[in-house]
Amino acid sequence: MSNIIVELKHVGKRYGDTQVLKDINIEIEQGKFYTLLGPSGSGKTTILRAIAGFLDVSEGEVLFDGKKINDVPANQRKVNTVFQDYALFPHLNVFDNVAFGLRLHRMSKETIQTKVTDALKMVRLQGYADREISELSGGQQQRVAIARAIVLEPQVLLLDEPLSALDAKLRKDMQYELRELQERLGITFLFVTHDQEEALALSDEIFVMNDGQVQQSGTPVDIYDEPVNHFVADFIGESNIIPGHMIKDFLVEFNGKQFECADAGMRPNEPVEVVLRPEDLDITAADAGKVNVEVDTQLFRGDYYEIVAYDQLQNEWLIHSTNPAKDGETVGLTFDPEDIHVMRLNESEEEFDARLETYEGD
Amino acid sequence: MKRKFKWSYLYLIFVFICLYVPIFYLVIYSFSTGDRMSNFSGFTWKHYAELFADTRMIQIVLDTLLVALLSSLIATIIGALGALAIDRTSRPVMKNTILSLNNILMVSPDVIIGASFLIFYTALKVPLGFWSVLMSHIAFSIPIVVLMILPRLQEMSHSLLDAARDLGASNYQVLTRVIVPYITPGIFSGFFMAFTYSLDDFAVTFFVTGNGFETLAVEIYARARQGISLEINALSGVMFVFALLLVVGYYFLQRAGQSRRAKHKRESEALINETTH
Amino acid sequence: MKKSTTNVAFYTPYVMWLALFVIAPMVLIVYQSFFDISGHFTLANYQTYFQSGTYIMMTINSVWYAFLITFATLLISYPTAYLLHYAKHKQLWLLLIILPTWINLLLKAYAFIGIFSQDGGVNSFLGMFGIAPQQFLFTDFSFIFVAAYIEIPFMILPIFNAIEELPENLVNASQDLGAKGWQTFTKVVWPLTISGVKSGVQAVFIPSLSLFMLTRLIGGNRVITLGTAIEEHFLTTMNWGMGSTIGVVLIVAMFIIMFLTGERKKKGVRRHEA
């Protein structure tokens, strides 16, 4: 309880008639890596800006270390931000950019020198202190932006899509570095991204956002394996989402057949959606599997083949397979009961958690 | 391809000759022993000697420079504040109205500016002379300063201001440590433009100056109406060399800056390639 | 967020300037146009302007000269700007174009008094071919020539900027699709650089309506523009009412030009002498 550093209580934000945040309740603990994940316009950056103090929330409370900070201006909040466009001051060189905040806090010259040097070392930019910002590559500018924010030793670092402007290779390298940096500094990172792979790879905990609401929060594994609704299932990873009916606990019907599954706690015959991840599907001979599909097209993705196939009801199936299939061939698909994830329609996260406890309970 | 290029250069060179012939014509005759701009009859420095001995002319040159310096300085300050004000105006109707008003003096013919200022000063009983000229020069230089600074302000990413505040800057510190340094190039070019406007102006000054005060342009007009005096040629010689030095210096400064930046960029790209592979 | 205090400090001097030096003078010149030479309120100035043929003729003349000057300037400037775009060292060339604008306009006009005089540069040049000296100074031709000479840089700069902004690939695409050089120019380059031409026309036409010192020094009072008339009324005959009336006409003309040439681009356009 005591190590909650930032908390949002019933936070909402309106611009005129548009509600961009609706009843946001978030608790953020010290020393963890959090991610706000969602498509553009889902409100994730708005939450970040509300915590940083760049905008006033319309309702609710923003708490820092247990104290309400709604009226504390941005320059007095103990959080720092890494901006999407880096927001490095073009008229200052690398050293002066990093020293900007320290000078505002009236630190001595020697302290500034040491702290800036340490921060630059932390982001592996030693020797770049005298460079102009315009002389740096995108990746280097990114590091300066991080150094500038962490040099003030904030308890929470806010990162607004910091990797979105980098190319794929550099982006992957930076993901490792960010995670490593967070562990070394031991402070809280709140990271905003629309890239679900990035979120899954980096986070201790993810908040999936859509439409100004938190759809689901949890560890990457929880969210991937047990999405609460259609949006989360679709947004996180690839998935086959098939309409079906819950016959009874641990038995679901879709595609005209009944399958064993690992879900329970629903009304008999309740209409549901069934999620099957493409990598959980295995190809066997026709009629040897649980479902028969006809292969339509396939793409070689390097480490696997992405196969699109159709069943007799013309439902589309996405399959990830290490072996290629033949176009037009009919094959069977097998999967285990645990691979099936059943979602109720319009179930909230709280209801989902409550239902889970009724039959899982460790 | 090659043939076409030759023709095009020929045309360009022709235009440039036309642009510069009158100026060189002036300068060449400043060295002529005669007293008219014809029949170059021998080399002499005497017109330059005359010019530097002409205390009235030197006084006018100094007055002109003083007006230019003061007016561009004050216009830059007011214009910069104006640009900041316009940038902060959020209502589009208000903003566009202010911008249109700002541009009125940019497009108005000088005769209109001169005549209307003359009516204005007369109505307010402002005596014509140094102060009326100075105020007029400030007035017609402000819009160009605004137009030089405003684009810099508008292209400034909003996240820069957020970043400064995030790092602990107060509103005042955001202004002095981020906004002003960022728009400094605009402030300088605004000042520079205001300075040249003031030096260049003839018509407005002609309307609002009384008997006691004269700028260079007004003096040249008065002398030119009386006929040719090679002292004026000597003056143009001096001014041309001055302008030329400014231009050449500016050009090489720019080139040096560009190549240094490009070199550094290449170096750091090479470095990052090394470190990532 | 905290707007009130800082914004007042920003607004005050600038708004004072707008009120005192932009709005007040414009209002005053309109106000003045309703007074006769002895200070009585009257509509006579406008009556005189519209009824006596001389003022109308002078206006038409002034517009006609401004048109000729603008046209001549455009004719020379467009190809120059276009070729400049493809030239090597174009920044240097550009500076060379701007350099003459730093020489005071009066000096350039003064140079032409020498060049065009009876025994001046042009006549000695013609003399080499056995042509007898001609009268150049104080003719319509010399007025248009000198005015065009002075205005050329102000036409080249906006056109050059417009051509520079034109993506090279559009020209390549046009050629790729089979357009010949001339077709590429008329169908792609010209329509896309028309904005620069418009700003140039604006920057040249409006001042050309009001050039008064050139009409005195070079035109020898043969050419009377709107500007000459205003100067005459304000500084010689002291009939400020009539001068203001012509001023109002000039302002109306200015707005018509601005309307016709559309949204002006701010770059590369300088206001300059009359």
Q: What is the mean pLDDT of residues A96-118?
A: 93
pLDDT in tens, chain B (277 residues): 444 556 778 888 889 998 999 999 989 888 988 777 777 778 888 889 988 999 999 999 999 999 999 999 999 999 999 999 998 888 889 999 999 899 888 888 999 999 999 999 999 999 999 999 999 999 999 999 999 999 999 989 889 999 999 999 998 899 999 999 999 888 988 898 898 889 889 999 999 998 889 999 999 898 888 888 888 889 888 988 888 887 777 777 767 666 655 655 555 555 444 444 4
What domains are defined for chain A? 4-225 (3.40.50.300), 241-359 (2.40.50.140)
Q: Which of C213, C248, C252 to mutate to test the interface with B (most CBs of B within 10 A)?
A: C213
State the nearest Cα–Cα gap between C21 and chain B, in angstroms: 6
A100 in reach of chain B (CB within 8 A): yes
Collect all residues of chain A within an 8 Å Cβ-Cβ radius of residue B187: none
State the nearest Cα–Cα gap between A113 and chain B, in angstroms: 17
Contact (CB<8Å) C95/B108: no
In a domain, C8, yes or no: no
Collect all residues of chain B within an 8 Å Cβ-Cβ radius of residue C264: 103, 107
For B105, other C-beta atoms within 10 Å of its C-beta total 25
Residue A304, exposed/middle/buried by CB under 10 A (0-12, 13-18, 19+)? middle
Structural domain for B72, as ranges: 60-208
Per-residue pLDDT tens digits for A211-248: 999 999 999 999 999 899 999 999 998 899 988 999 98
In a domain, B151, yes or no: yes
Among A90, A91, A101, the residue with its CB nearest the CB of B168 is A101
Query: pLDDT-derived band of residue A109, with 50, 70 and 90 as boundaries?
Result: very high
Collect all residues of chain B within an 8 Å Cβ-Cβ radius of residue A171: none
In a domain, C272, yes or no: no
Per-residue pLDDT tens digits for A27-53: 999 999 999 999 998 999 999 999 999
CB pairs under 8 A between B and C: 262
Return the SS3 of A157.
strand
Among B163, B264, B276, the residue with its CB nearest the CB of A81 is B163
CB B87 within 8 A of CB B146: no
How many Å apart are CA C235 and CA C242, to the nearest integer? 12
Contact (CB<8Å) C29/B38: no
Instruction: For residue A216, list its beta bridge partners.
Output: A208
What b/e string do you get for C192-227 counting C-beta neighbours within 10 Å, with b at 16 or more? bbebbbbbbbbbbbbbbbbbbbbbbbbbeeebbbbb
The H or E element spanning position B222 is helix B216-226
Q: Which of B6, B29, B97, B119 to mutate to test the interface with C (most CBs of C within 10 A)?
A: B119
pLDDT score, position B270: 53
For A267, list phi and psi in degrees, rounded to 5: -70, 150
Structural domain for C186, as ranges: 52-260
For residue C223, the domain's CATH number is 1.10.3720.10
B169 in reach of chain A (CB within 8 A): yes
Collect all residues of chain B within an 8 Å Cβ-Cβ radius of residue C261: none
The H or E element spanning position B143 is helix B130-155
Q: Where are the alpha helices (DSSP H) in chain A?
A: 44-52, 94-104, 109-122, 138-150, 168-185, 196-202, 220-225, 230-235, 349-359
pLDDT score, position B197: 87
Q: Which of B167, B174, B260 to mutate to test the interface with A (most CBs of A within 10 A)?
A: B167
pLDDT score, position B254: 66
Contact (CB<8Å) A83/B272: no
pLDDT score, position C92: 81
In a domain, C274, yes or no: no
For A43, list phi and psi in degrees, rounded to 5: 105, 5
Contact (CB<8Å) A89/B178: yes
Q: What is the mean pLDDT of residues A63-71?
A: 92
pLDDT score, position A3: 87
A139 in reach of chain B (CB within 8 A): yes
State the nearest Cα–Cα gap between B182 and chain A, in angstroms: 6
Contact (CB<8Å) C29/B112: yes
In a domain, B88, yes or no: yes
Contact (CB<8Å) B111/C108: no
How many Å apart are CA A353 and CA A362, to the nearest integer? 14
Contact (CB<8Å) B265/A135: yes
More confident residue, A268 or B79: B79
> Which one, of A235, A244, A198, A267, lies nearest residue A341 by Cα?
A244
- The token pair at A325 is 């299939």
The count of structural domains within chain C is 1
Q: What is the ipTM of this complex?
A: 0.85
Residue B277, exposed/middle/buried by CB under 10 A (0-12, 13-18, 19+)? exposed
How many Å apart are CA A210 and CA A232, to the nearest integer? 9
pLDDT score, position A287: 85
A105 in reach of chain B (CB within 8 A): yes
Contact (CB<8Å) B15/C271: no
Contact (CB<8Å) A76/B168: yes
Mean per-residue pLDDT over chain A, rounded:
91
Q: Which of A45, A56, A81 to mutate to test the interface with B (most CBs of B within 10 A)?
A: A81
Q: Which of A92, A105, A137 to mutate to test the interface with B (most CBs of B within 10 A)?
A: A137
Contact (CB<8Å) B240/C104: no
Length of chain B: 277
Per-residue pLDDT tens digits for A86-101: 999 988 999 999 999 9
For residue A53, the chain B residue with the least C-alpha distance is B166
In a domain, C143, yes or no: yes
- The token pair at A235 is 């947004």
For residue B151, the domain's CATH number is 1.10.3720.10
Collect all residues of chain C within an 8 Å Cβ-Cβ radius of residue B123: 28
B177 in reach of chain A (CB within 8 A): yes
State the nearest Cα–Cα gap between A32 and chain B, in angstroms: 21
Per-residue pLDDT tens digits for C190-243: 989 998 999 999 889 988 988 888 888 887 777 788 899 999 899 888 899 999
Q: Look at the alpha carbons of B239, B241, B243, B246 in this order and tell me if their dihedral is positive or negative.
A: negative
Length of chain C: 274
Chains that contact A by 3+ CB pairs under 8 Å?
Answer: B
Contact (CB<8Å) B247/C152: no
For residue A75, the chain B residue with the least C-alpha distance is B168
Among A85, A135, A149, the residue with its CB nearest the CB of B157 is A85
pLDDT score, position B267: 55
Share of chain A above pLDDT 70, in %: 99
pLDDT score, position B274: 45
B155 in reach of chain A (CB within 8 A): no
Side chain identity, residue C37: I
C132 in reach of chain B (CB within 8 A): no
Strand order in the sheet with A4-15: A18-29, A4-15, A59-64, A67-68
State the nearest Cα–Cα gap between B96 and chain C, in angstroms: 12
pLDDT score, position C271: 42
Among B18, B98, B251, the residue with its CB nearest the CB of C92 is B251
Per-residue pLDDT tens digits for C185-196: 888 899 899 989
In a domain, B258, yes or no: no
pLDDT score, position A186: 92
How many Å apart are CA B27 and CA C111, to the nearest integer? 9
Contact (CB<8Å) B163/A74: no
pLDDT in tens, chain C (274 residues): 444 566 677 788 999 999 999 999 999 999 999 998 888 888 888 998 998 888 999 999 999 999 999 999 999 999 999 999 888 888 888 888 888 888 888 888 888 888 888 777 788 788 888 887 888 778 888 899 999 999 999 999 999 999 998 888 888 888 888 888 888 888 889 989 998 999 999 889 988 988 888 888 887 777 788 899 999 899 888 899 999 999 999 999 888 888 888 754 444 444 443 3
> Which one, of A190, A183, A30, A184, lies nearest residue A118 by Cα?
A184
Q: Please identify which residue in the block is written with the tokens 């104006």.
A: B82
Among C93, C234, C272, the residue with its CB nearest the CB of B207 is C234
Chains that contact C by 3+ CB pairs under 8 Å?
Answer: B
Per-residue pLDDT tens digits for C29-50: 999 999 988 888 888 889 989 9
The count of structural domains within chain B is 1
Q: Which of A55, A75, A148 to mutate to test the interface with B (most CBs of B within 10 A)?
A: A75
